[in-house]
Every structure is written in structure tokens, then in C-alpha cells.
Amino acid sequence: MDKPAQAKTSLAYALDAISRMAAQPDEAAHAADPAIYTSEALLDHEQEQIFDHEWACVGRADELPNRGDYMTTMVGRTPVIVNRRKDGSLGAMANICAHRLAAVAEGRGNMPRFVCPYHAWTYEEDGRLLGAPHMPKDFDKKACGLDPLALEIWNGYIYINPDPDAAPLADRLEPLTALFRNYRLGDMRIMHKATEVWEGNWKVATENFIESYHLTVVHAQSIGHLAPMQAISMAEEGPGYAFHRVQAPPEFIQSMPGSLQKPNPDISDEERMTIYAGCVFPNHLFTVQHDQVTWMRTQPISTDKTLIEWGIAGAYDWPGDEPDPEHPEFYYMREMPHVNAEDRAVVASVQIGAKSGRKLPGRLHPVEHGILTFARYLDTRLRGPENTL
């Protein structure tokens, strides 16, 4: 070990480690210094510089189909309510009561307005204060409301940004919008969603998702057969995202009699054979396929714990509210819990290695290039939100 352990947890050391990682050449990059996964000072800085100013994915728009449907979640350190409003649009606001900061809603459900459980201040669907029991006559309701938050829908996913001055998300994602257009991700329908806590830094979980070098090894018992190494190549990378592609084997697209899959005349044969996987930084990891999208959102809890929400949406029309998990076409609904358990175990293992403080000079494989792109994104963002992507 080349430095005392305490110095390695300092913010200055961790920021320098990310800058050194980001400055490496594309062809011969090495893995990150483990300090970036263990420094508490860095996590605080990430919350301030990244999650307080970034577009974070919180789920899919079709999770909230009806007027009054709402869900609560966190974007970085900000508790959030997302709800479907009278005019059919989705809106977001801070889930922080204007009286004395309590959460006005919890979980998910259907509410035409929100009543704070602390002193019963009542808010309209858009956060305007409707009533505040027993307050003095000179109290100005208009001055108190739930803080509105910026919201964008992209490819069927809801993104929220706590920073009212943030630049729009869609502009920065134009190349990805074009790449995924024919897959019609916004028309897919949610099939499954789950929440887990993983024993690893949020960046370890991110780096694991944005490379498929590990697929035939970690996922040998599940989906490894879909991605032999020669089928993997880098696809679209930019300052705010990194995606690679896998050319799938022919059996991947075999259709079955009585298929529930929606016809998609837009998609080419090549697109039907291609799987894309990657991340819209900082927290939206997803895999695009002709018949479904699987995604994961990360939410840091501590340096070595991450809330993982993951789900599957499909290009299917199934009868009723819930898809039948035994239907032969819905193999991903049966497979993904195993795949995620495999990833979860390896993420925990990496975190234990990182905590040892030992810096090892691992070289990245060319199909792990997204990890270098992620480091460059972190480096830009951690220098301050005014640094545009």
C-alpha cells in the first residue's frame, strides 16, 4: 500500500484518483483506484455535485397510468413525489412539507391531494397549499407549497432533476434517442419491478452493468450463452452515457405460435438481433432488446450500500393486469432474479476487495470502455455542475 489508509479516504485523494483514471488513453486504461468506492467524503461530494444537479431516473411513466396515481422515491438526498395530474401529465415535487419538513406522502398509491401526517397541512396535486388547520388569520398559504421539481419523460422513463436551472435532458441524449427509436421503448408495458439493497458502492454496481465482459463467466448458468465475447462491441458513447452492443444468436429472435408480442414494422432484422446495454449517467442502467427492456436504477445509501430498483417492460399485449410469469415468452421474468443475484454477489465481492485499500493495476478490456467513459463523466461532474457535458 502506497499511502496511509486515512489519506486514501480524503476527498482530495479520491478526486485525484478519478481525474487520473479519466485522463488515461482509450486503448490502455486501467481499473479505478479502490478509494473511489470507499471514501465517505467522496460520496458526500457526489451527492452535492452530481445527484443534486442531475437527471435521475425514478421509474417508468406507465407505472402511474391513472389520474391521482403517485409514487414516492429519492433523488440523491431529495425525497420526491411523482404523480399523474388532472390534465394527464406527470409532475414532480419535493416530498418535504413546507411547515416543518415531514414527508407528506409515502410509498405509492392514488391520492387526489396530499395531507401531511404531522399537522395535516393539505396540498393540491401540484403542490399548492390548500389548507393549514388552525393557523392564524394573517398566515399566507400562497407563500407555502411543495417545491416543484423538473421532470422529463425519455423513452418511457421518468427523469427528475432537483436543480431548477438544469439544462434539458433530451438534448444531451439525441444520439441514443436515434439509436433506440425503432425499439419503441416508450410503448412497452411494465411487467415486473423489485427493490433490493446491494452491498456495494453505487459505482461498482454501475460499472458491473456497463460491461458484458463478465457475462459468460458470472452468468454462465443464466444468460451467458447470449453473449460470447466475439459478439460484444462498443456501440454509442457520449459525455453522459455509454452503451455497448451484443449481436445475439439466431434463436434469440425465434417467434412462437400464439405470440403476445406487438408487431413492430419499424424494426430491422439487424436491430432484432442486437441487444444494447449501458447507462444514462448517473443512475439509469438498461438493456434494450427487440421485445423488452430491463432496467435498474441506483440510489446510494452509503459508500458500501446501494438501493437497487429493477424492472422489466415488454413489447407485449397480455390479457388482464398482470402478465403470467409462466408464459413461455416471458423467460426474462423468470431469469432476471437469478441474473441479478449473480451480479449482486460479484458487486459485494468487489466492494470487499476495495475496502482492503490495495491498489492493483488491473487493465480494462476494450469492451469495458464504458467504465472509462463513466470515469470521465464523474470527473467532469465532480468539478462542479457548471461544467457542461
Closest CA to 260 of 311, 331, 183, 194: 331
Q: Say which entry of ligand FES, Fe ion, none residue 374 contacts (CB below 5 to 8 A, set by partner kind).
A: none
368 makes contact with Fe ion (CB under 5 A): no
Span interacting with Fe ion, options 2-10, 92-100, 337-345, 347-355, rule CB under 5 A: 337-345
* Window 59-118: residues binding ligand FES (CB under 6 A): 97, 99-100, 102, 116, 118
Q: Say which entry of ligand FES, Fe ion, none residue 128 contacts (CB below 5 to 8 A, set by partner kind).
A: none
121 makes contact with ligand FES (CB under 6 A): yes
Q: Say which entry of ligand FES, Fe ion, none residue 118 contacts (CB below 5 to 8 A, set by partner kind).
A: ligand FES
Q: Which of 119, 141, 193, 225 binds ligand FES (CB under 6 A)?
A: 119
Distance of closest approach, residue 337 Cβ to ligand FES, in angstroms: 38
Q: Say which entry of Fe ion, ligand FES, none residue 343 contacts (CB below 5 to 8 A, set by partner kind).
A: Fe ion
Distance of closest approach, residue 210 Cβ to Fe ion, in angstroms: 10
Cα(74)–Cα(81) distance, integer angstroms? 9
Q: Say which entry of Fe ion, ligand FES, none residue 96 contacts (CB below 5 to 8 A, set by partner kind).
A: none
Long-range contacts of 380-389 (CB under 8 A, 24+ apart): 380/239, 381/49, 381/50, 381/53, 381/54, 381/282, 382/15, 382/18, 382/45, 382/46, 382/49, 382/50, 383/49, 384/49, 385/49, 385/52, 385/53, 385/163, 385/166, 388/167, 389/172, 389/238, 389/239, 389/240
Span interacting with Fe ion, options 14-22, 123-131, 132-140, 336-344, rule CB under 5 A: 336-344
343 makes contact with Fe ion (CB under 5 A): yes
Long-range contacts of 111-114 (CB under 8 A, 24+ apart): 111/68, 111/70, 111/83, 112/68, 114/81, 114/146
How many chain residues are in contact with Fe ion, going by CB under 5 A?
A: 1
What contacts 357, CB < 8 A, 6 or more positions away?
Answer: 1, 5, 8, 34, 35, 38
Distance of closest approach, residue 111 Cβ to ligand FES, in angstroms: 15
Q: Say which entry of Fe ion, ligand FES, none residue 371 contacts (CB below 5 to 8 A, set by partner kind).
A: none
Set of cell numbers at residue 294 = 430491463
How many chain residues are in contact with ligand FES, going by CB under 6 A?
A: 8
- CA distances (Å), origin 315, targets 27, 259, 323: 38, 11, 12
Distance of closest approach, residue 271 Cβ to ligand FES, in angstroms: 50
Cα(347)–Cα(256) distance, integer angstroms? 36
Residues lying near ligand FES in the complex (CB under 6 A) are found at: 97, 99-100, 102, 116, 118-119, 121
Binding site for Fe ion (CB under 5 A): 343
